[in-house]
Amino acid sequence: MLVSLAAALVAAGITWWVVTEGGATPRPVVGAGDSSAIASQPGEGAAAPGATAPAVPTASGEPRASAEPAEPTQSAEPAQSARPTRPTKSAEPAAPAQPAGPAAAQARAMNDVLASSNASHSGLTDAIVATSQCRQSGLDRIVDITAGRRDQLAAARALTVDALPDGTALRKSLVAALDASFDADAAFLSWARRHVAGGCSGPVAEDRDYRRGLARSEDARKAKARFADAWRTVAEAYGLPVWRPDQI
């Protein structure tokens, strides 16, 4: 009858009591159909701490392995501690290689003359305006520009162009452009000196040297346009600036 009562209590999920000499002690029902499966009291063969718990019978009567804590799984690779990484220096793009050979060197030498001419051209207009306002700085600037033009013309005449396609014709075109520019600058310089020396009186546009400077500037513009057309082919072939007529 005890077995039937235990089974009924297990089904109801209720703890039943066992009366001992010391009084009623609660005993959890751990299985149905076997009163001997009840856990013993302390001192009655209870397992020592840390010992493996006995198998617990299941409702079907077969022993069930007690649940043991699973061993912690170890990750395949331990995570490395984060380390500050030094920023990698990005590779700077390499400068494109310039063409080599005599022709390339001659083209670069001509380009140097053009770059110097560009610096002179860009400052002439401001110098003329300053001089017309009777400012000594304008006259000084025209002196420097005229001297620079003279040096550029001499450098152009001395260029070696035998390795360049149509090099002689190209040099002749450049010399003609710079010669006209030098004449124009020299004419403006003559006007500027007289203008400042005379107390900056009299109309500028009617001055003979000023008018000559304008005329030779127009000749220079046309000559520069002819040269720029021929220079474009050379510049593109050797990776050099394509100078416009108004930049020379």
**Element at 64 (helix H, strand E):** strand 63-64
User: Which pLDDT score, from 0 to 100, does residue 30 have?
Assistant: 40
Token readout for 186 is 């020299």
Whole-Å CA distances, 14 to 28, 62, 90:
8, 22, 75
pTM score of the predicted model? 0.60
Judgement on whether residues 11 and 110 belong to the same structural domain of the protein:
no
Please give the pLDDT value at position 201: 86
Do residues 233 and 136 both lie within one domain?
Answer: yes
**The dihedral of CA 206, 209, 210, 212: what is its sign?**
positive
Say how many domains are in the chain.
2
* 87 occurs within a structural domain: no
C-alpha triplet 89, 94, 95: angle, nearest 5°: 140
Domain span including residue 12: 1-37
- What's the CA gap between 87 and 218, in Å, rounded? 58
Asked whether residue 144 falls in the same domain as residue 230, the answer is yes
Strands 23-27 vs 16-20: parallel, antiparallel or unpaired = antiparallel
Q: Is residue 49 part of a domain?
A: no
Handedness of CA 149, 150, 152, 157 (dihedral sign): positive
pLDDT digits (tens, 9 = 90+) for 183-219: 999 999 999 999 999 999 888 999 999 999 999 999 9
Q: Please identify every stretch of the chain with a pLDDT value under 50, giving residue numbers as ranges.
A: 1-82, 84, 87, 90, 94-95
- Judge if 27 and 138 occupy the same domain: no
172 lies in a domain?
yes
Asked if residue 1 belongs to a domain, the reply is yes
Predicted pLDDT at 202: 83
Q: For tokens 């070696």, what's the residue?
A: 160
Same domain? For 30 and 118 the reply is no
Given the structure tokens 């620079």, which residue do they identify?
Answer: 148
- Both 127 and 243 in one domain: the answer is yes
Which residues have C-beta within 8 Å of that of residue 139, sequence separation ≥ 6? 127, 131, 192, 193, 196
pLDDT at 203: 87
Domain-located, residue 12: yes
Whose structure tokens read 């493996």?
52
Are 32 and 129 in a shared domain? no
- Residue 95: count other Cβ atoms within 10 Å of its Cβ: 6
Confirm whether 93 is domain-assigned.
Answer: no
